[in-house]
Amino acid sequence: MRSSEEGVVNLDKLTYAGNLHNLASVQGDARHVFVQGDIGDSALVQRLLAEHQPRAVLNFAAESHVDRSIHGPEDFIQTNVVGTFRLLEAVRHYWQALPAIEKEAFRFLHVSTDEVYGTLAPDAPAFTEEHTCEPNSPYSASKAASDHLVRAWHHTYGLPVLTTNCSNNYGPYHFPEKLIPLMIVNALAGKSLPIYGDGRQVRDWLYVTDHCSAIRRVLEAGRLGETYNVGGWNEKPNIDIVNTVCGLLDELRPRADGQSYRAQIAYVKDRPGHDRRYAIDARKIERELAWKPAETFDTGIRKTVQWYLEHADWVANVQTGAYRDWVQTQYQSQAESPST
């Protein structure tokens, strides 16, 4: 492992779900450099690579909400496909010019999703890394395309790549358009808890810090060109997730009328092409890299609900334009500061 003093350059476009408040803990830390920008901006990426000389590039950048991809797929193509292509090209030229020792040590890690594999029958084996890509939404198709580009840049150009395909993440700072934070936020606001179809769609759930530890481990010891599935071994129907969240809120923040938050559940029309089941077989990363999740779903979901209860200001800010105004002010002041 590298020294804890090693720096990180954080390139973020700050789209609707981006929020500099999430980086408050590293504000003023010389090891962290924040740059507002797009991975599709080749000139910017090339400048950052030349200036900071990173030993690795991790590509987390993606449009990731299936519902948004159905209503506006072009953003997903631009970020997930074109953006990944331009990032790969900038990184390839940087890597090819490195001295031999640094070139050998360099890594490009691409963070992807289990949704590229498509959907599973109720009794089908979980997704392995050998499973055929069969994406069913504009989002998952765009991510599958980016995975193929990463693979091709390894096989064609020799770029030292690693790919991770994770299951549904959850935890603190999760933008409240996704299932778990949406249920928490709506429940506390007295709003309905919308459940698609019959609510029996099955997902595997991975606590966010477990995902981070898996990425660190793959970056440290993963075999070049390989894909590693990262899952939480927590395969559950959506309705069970919502009922668990409601039960925790009943315990930690009871409704004034004494009723359960489950009374707010409302079934709505299913979304087009809704995949029925995802499941991750994470034995490869455990076998090869000795990684497995530290959190159970019970421990992770309790931590998540407690975090949202304790961070009402954060939730309020991301649901309004207030945080956008703060970003503009903060970024402008940083740009004018001699220290930047």
| 170 assigned to active site | no
Which of 139, 228, 278, 308 is the catalytic position? Answer: 139
Marked catalytic residue, from 12, 63, 115, 147 = 115
Q: How far, in Å, CA of 41 to CA of 57, rounded? A: 15
Do the Cβ atoms of 41 and 78 come closer than 8 Å?
no
Query: Is it the case that residue 312 has pLDDT exceeding 50?
Result: yes
pLDDT at 16: 83
Mean pLDDT of 38-56: 98
Per-residue model confidence (pLDDT) at position 328:
63
Quote the Cα angle for 251-252-254, to 5°: 70
At 259-277, the pLDDT tens digits run: 999 999 999 999 888 999 9
Question: For the segment 147-165, what is each residue's pLDDT rounded down to a tens digit?
Answer: 999 999 999 999 999 999 9
What sign does the dihedral 61-142-120-198 (CA atoms) show? positive
114 is catalytic: yes
pTM above 0.85, yes or no: yes
Domain 8-317 has CATH 3.40.50.2000: no
Residue 149 DSSP one-character state:
H
- Spans of all domains in the chain: 8-317
The per-residue pLDDT for range 169-225, each reduced to its tens digit, is 999 999 888 999 999 999 999 999 999 999 999 999 999 999 999 999 999 999 999
Give CB contacts under 8 A, 24+ apart, made by 244-247: 244/297, 244/301, 245/180, 245/183, 245/184, 245/187, 245/301, 245/305, 246/183, 246/187, 246/193
Q: Where are the beta strands (DSSP E) in 155-308?
A: 161-166, 168-170, 193-196, 202-207, 227-230, 235-237, 265-268
Residues 6+ apart with CB under 8 A from 4: none
Is residue 139 part of the annotated active site? The answer reads yes
Least confident residue range of 8-12, 289-293, 318-322: 318-322
Q: How big is the CA angle at 242 (ends 238 and 247), to the nearest 5 degrees?
A: 145
Which of the residues 38, 63, 114, 210 is marked catalytic? Answer: 114
